[in-house]
């Protein structure tokens, strides 16, 4: 009844090609943005920011990045953790080398550095595919973590090998460091998420996105119709790494503030982001958000129910979490192999017919 | 007049009553899961048992009951942040992060919140400087003097000389795992023992193999 195309007349090509062709979707989009920008910053607490919202936003960017590579271009990557580490260390080196330059510029620049590194590690994708490429990106993961652990230049020769984010301000408000208020770190991440999501959404709708998808669906056919695989694959690696680098920089500078590379950006991180993309839905921007929300919020919710509500021992709850999350992942993938995004699409299809399903 | 004194009375009793009703909250950031659980579980049990003992035997500390709030970190820094944020609101008195990674993260946060950190034998070595790190206490040892004490003990065990002996450090292959190495290298030059450092990667499956390789004197310094 509410959710339908009919009655929403488009009078220009621009209107016809917009991201959300259905009026209800557009209103929902603006409502979500209004709540995120105008309501949450005023009610947010330290706990909500640091335990749920900031990690959710940062992982969303990483998931969008990986989704471009794995979901749209079909190149499976296990190097996400390593690329996030590149973003984090680039941000650290830039922050300490050029303290006067704005931190937000540094975060974007670290995305750029990661894009270069990502494109370099994407070169093997021109020759190898599928599982073999996954293993090649796994090499990137281990190499990068080893590099940041081994070469003291990257952590400015500190005795403990940790990198710590110094305090930096934007318009006189602390954005990184201990005195950052919850709303400031939340808003910084939110701005980056919004911009990244809009860029990613429009890239995937445009000619570059269509090239990626044609490579994903059948690379030989794509080549025959004139898609340059070198350009398509390397651009997918570079753009995906750009987003992942931004998320790594935010992860280090805004969220954790201090990082030990092996612990924070190990293989677990690569797998976590890959799970987010798979559970959320390959080839869907909404899916990246859904997957990130699922894997960030679920452990917290399970912990709240188990420890705070039922009073169970913490180790039991932690083990149950592993079991339950594993079970839920299997359940979702059996029931809906295309992820939460497909579930959302099914709901939308039903909504279109509602309340007269015949 | 009467009303005023009543209010004053109520207020003052409220002020006196508040501390009496409140417990001493001590968070226990434990790691009973994950690859380091074998060390984390007994520590957490002991930590909790000690405060239970104080509560039962002495009626708490200074007449106040101690309330332990346990939070499972799994030795993971992100979960550690969540634990810190969720427990600090309950009036946490002191934190023992039990992990160097988590300590680095909590030093600025806890300093901003005015909560002391007690990092015994791990954490940030430079936090010895109390003028700068006023909220961090890392007694009895840090990585550097820990290494030095271990060497001194071995020296006493071997009749006051380590000349020609071999000492191997199996270290956690991370930034903080490497911290004792410069100290031990300096001591090796001073005391004339041969020093070798071998990395053990997380989560430590190769440890056993590495141990077999090193039949000579072995010092394992934990993070």
pTM: 0.84
Contact B81 A261 (CB under 8 A): no
**Percentage of chain A modeled with pLDDT above 90:** 22
B1 has pLDDT over 70: no
The neighbour count for residue B194, using CB atoms within 10 Å, is 13
pLDDT digits (tens, 9 = 90+) for A322-343: 888 888 888 877 888 788 888 8
Distance from CA of B154 to the nearest CA of A (A): 25
Judging contacts by C-beta atoms under 8 Å, the chain B residues touching residue A303 are 72
Average pLDDT over all residues of chain B: 78
- Looking at residue A128, its pLDDT comes to 82
Does B204 score more than 50 pLDDT? yes
Lookup result for tokens 């998320």: A247
The predicted pLDDT at position A192 comes to 93
Nearest CB neighbour to A51, from listed B33, B85, B111: B85
- Judged by CB atoms closer than 8 Å, whether chains meet at A314 and B74 is answered as no
Identify the weakest region by mean pLDDT among A11-25, A105-119, A203-217, B55-69.
Answer: A11-25
User: B30 and A315: CB-CB below 8 Å?
Assistant: yes
- Residue of A260, A272, A320 for testing the chain B interface, max B β-carbons within 10 Å: A260
Helices and strands counted in chain A (H then E) = 17, 4
- At B21, is the pLDDT very low, low, confident or very high (cuts 50, 70, 90)? very low
Q: What angle do CA A22, A24, A27 make, to 5 degrees?
A: 115
Q: Chain A partners of B30 at a C-beta cutoff of 8 Å?
A: 314-315
Give residue for tokens 């990198």. A163
pLDDT grade for B9, boundaries at 50, 70 and 90:
very low
With contact defined as beta carbons under 8 Å apart, do A279 and A329 qualify?
yes
Of B72, B81, B100, the CB nearest to A160: B100
Q: A61 by DSSP, 3-state: which?
A: helix
User: Which residue carries 């070198």 as its tokens?
Assistant: A230
Tokens of A104: 């937000």
Asked whether the beta carbons of residue A160 and residue B179 sit closer than 8 angstroms, the reply is: yes
Rounded to the nearest angstrom, the minimum Cα separation between A89 and chain B is 14
- Residue B73 Cα, gap to closest chain A Cα (Å): 9
Cα-based distances in Å from A125 to A62, A81, B148: 20, 18, 50
Nearest chain A Cα distance for residue B214, angstroms: 23
Contact A159 B182 (CB under 8 A): yes
Residue B163 has pLDDT above 50, yes or no: yes
Q: Which residue is it, tokens 């405060």?
A: B51
Distance from CA of B107 to the nearest CA of A (A): 9
Q: Is A109 in contact with A101 (CB distance < 8 Å)?
A: no
Name the pLDDT band for B38 (thresholds 50, 70, 90): confident
Write b or e for each residue in B12-31: b if 16 or more Cβ atoms lie within 10 A of its Cβ, otherwise e.
eeeeeeeeeeebbbbbbbbb
CA distance A345 to A94: 42
Q: How far off is chain A from B49, nearest CA to CA, in Å?
A: 15
> Among candidates B74, B105, B73, which has minimal Cα distance to B86?
B73
Listing DSSP states for A100-122 in one string gives TS-HHHHHHHHHHHHHHHHHHHH
Residue of B nearest to A166 (CA): B108
pLDDT tens-digit readout, A82-139: 999 999 999 999 988 888 888 889 999 999 999 999 999 888 888 888 788 888 888 8
Residues of A in contact with B72 (CB under 8 A): 303, 307, 314-315, 317-318
Contacts of B182 in chain A (CB under 8 A): 159
B109–A266: do the CB atoms touch at under 8 Å?
A: no
CA–CA dist B164, B184 (Å, integer)? 15
**Among positive and negative, which fits the CA dihedral B178, B183, B186, B191?**
negative
Quickly tell me which residue has 């939460």 as its tokens.
A340
Q: What is the mean pLDDT of chain A?
A: 86
Question: Which of chain A's residues have a Cβ under 8 Å away from the Cβ of B85?
Answer: 46-47, 50-51
A58-68: pLDDT as tens digits: 999 999 999 99
Q: Is the pLDDT of residue A7 over 80?
A: no
Q: Tokens standing for A227?
A: 């898609």
For tokens 């056919």, the residue is: A221
pLDDT of residue A149: 83
Contact pairs from chain A to chain B, CB under 8 Å: 109
Four-residue CA torsion sign, A60, A61, A64, A66? negative
User: Residue B211: pLDDT above 60?
Assistant: no
Q: What average pLDDT score do residues B178-185 get?
A: 86
Contact (CB<8Å) B41/A159: no
Record: contact B108-A50, CB cut-off 8 A = no
Please state, in angstroms and as integers, the Cα–Cα distance from residue B75 to each residue in A222, B83, B221, following that order.
47, 11, 18
Tell me: the pLDDT tens digits for A13-64? Answer: 888 778 787 777 888 888 988 888 888 888 888 788 888 899 999 999 999 9
Please report residues of A whose CB lies closer than 8 A to that of B115.
none
What is the distance in angstroms between the Cα of B102 and the nearest Cα belonging to chain A?
8
Q: What is the model's pLDDT at position A245?
A: 94
Q: Cis bond leading into A142, ω under 30°?
A: no
Contact B108 A149 (CB under 8 A): no
- Predicted confidence at residue A1, as pLDDT, reads 61
DSSP conformational letter for B64: B
A258/B105 CB distance under 8 A:
yes
pLDDT band at B206 (very low <50, low <70, confident <90, very high): low
């Amino acid at each position: 009844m509410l959710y339908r195309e009919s009655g929403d007349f488009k009078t220009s090509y621009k209107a016809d090609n917009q991201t959300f062709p259905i009026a209800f979707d557009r209103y929902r989009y603006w409502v979500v943005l209004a709540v995120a920008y105008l309501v949450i910053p005023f009610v947010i607490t330290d706990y909500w920011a640091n335990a749920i919202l900031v990690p959710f936003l940062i992982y969303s960017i990483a998931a969008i990045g990986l989704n471009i590579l794995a979901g749209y271009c079909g190149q499976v990557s296990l190097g996400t953790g390593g690329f996030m580490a590149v973003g984090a260390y680039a941000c650290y080196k830039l922050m300490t080398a050029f303290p006067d330059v704005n931190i937000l510029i540094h975060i974007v620049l670290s995305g750029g550095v990661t894009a270069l590194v990502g494109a370099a590690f994407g070169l093997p994708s021109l020759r190898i595919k599928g599982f073999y490429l996954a293993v090649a990106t796994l090499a990137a993961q281990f190499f990068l973590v080893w590099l940041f652990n081994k070469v003291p230049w990257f952590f400015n020769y500190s005795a403990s090998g940790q990198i710590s984010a110094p305090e930096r301000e934007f318009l006189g408000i602390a954005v990184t460091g201990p005195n950052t208020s919850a709303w400031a770190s939340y808003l910084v991440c939110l701005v980056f998420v919004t911009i990244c999501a809009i860029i990613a959404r429009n890239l995937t709708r445009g000619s570059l996105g269509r090239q990626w998808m044609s490579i994903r669906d059948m690379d030989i056919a794509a080549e025959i119709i004139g898609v340059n695989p070198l350009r398509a694959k390397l651009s997918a690696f570079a753009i995906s790494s750009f987003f992942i680098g931004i998320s790594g920089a935010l992860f280090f500078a805004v969220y954790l503030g201090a990082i030990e590379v092996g612990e924070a950006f190990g293989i677990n991180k690569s797998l976590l982001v890959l799970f987010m993309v798979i559970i959320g839905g390959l080839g869907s921007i909404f899916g990246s958000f859904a997957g990130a929300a699922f894997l960030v919020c679920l452990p917290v919710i399970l912990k709240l129910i188990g420890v705070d509500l039922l009073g169970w021992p913490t180790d039991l709850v932690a083990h149950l979490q592993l079991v339950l999350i594993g079970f839920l992942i299997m359940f979702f993938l059996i029931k809906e192999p295309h992820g939460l995004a497909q579930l959302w699409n099914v709901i939308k299809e039903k909504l279109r017919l509602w309340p007269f399903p015949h | 007049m009467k009303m005023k004194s009543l209010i004053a009375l109520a207020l003052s009793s409220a002020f006196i009553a508040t501390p009496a009703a409140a417990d001493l909250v001590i968070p226990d950031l434990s790691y009973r899961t994950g690859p380091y659980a074998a060390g984390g579980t007994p520590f957490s049990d002991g930590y909790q048992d000690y405060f239970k003992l104080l509560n039962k035997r002495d009626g708490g500390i200074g007449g106040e009951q101690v309330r332990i709030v346990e939070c499972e970190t799994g030795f993971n820094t992100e979960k550690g942040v969540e634990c810190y944020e969720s427990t600090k609101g309950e009036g946490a008195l002191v934190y023992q992060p039990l992990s160097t990674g988590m300590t680095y993260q909590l030093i600025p946060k806890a300093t901003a919140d005015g909560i002391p950190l007690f990092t015994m034998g791990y954490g940030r070595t430079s936090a010895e400087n109390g003028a700068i790190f006023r909220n961090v206490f890392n007694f009895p040892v840090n990585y550097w003097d820990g290494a030095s004490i271990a060497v001194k003990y071995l020296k006493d065990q071997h009749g006051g000389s380590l000349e020609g002996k071999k000492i191997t450090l199996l270290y956690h292959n991370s930034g903080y795992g490497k911290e004792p190495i410069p100290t031990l290298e300096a001591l090796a030059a001073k005391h004339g023992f041969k020093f070798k450092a071998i990395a053990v990667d997380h989560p430590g499956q190769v440890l056993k193999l590495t141990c077999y390789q090193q039949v000579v004197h072995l010092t394992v310094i934990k993070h």
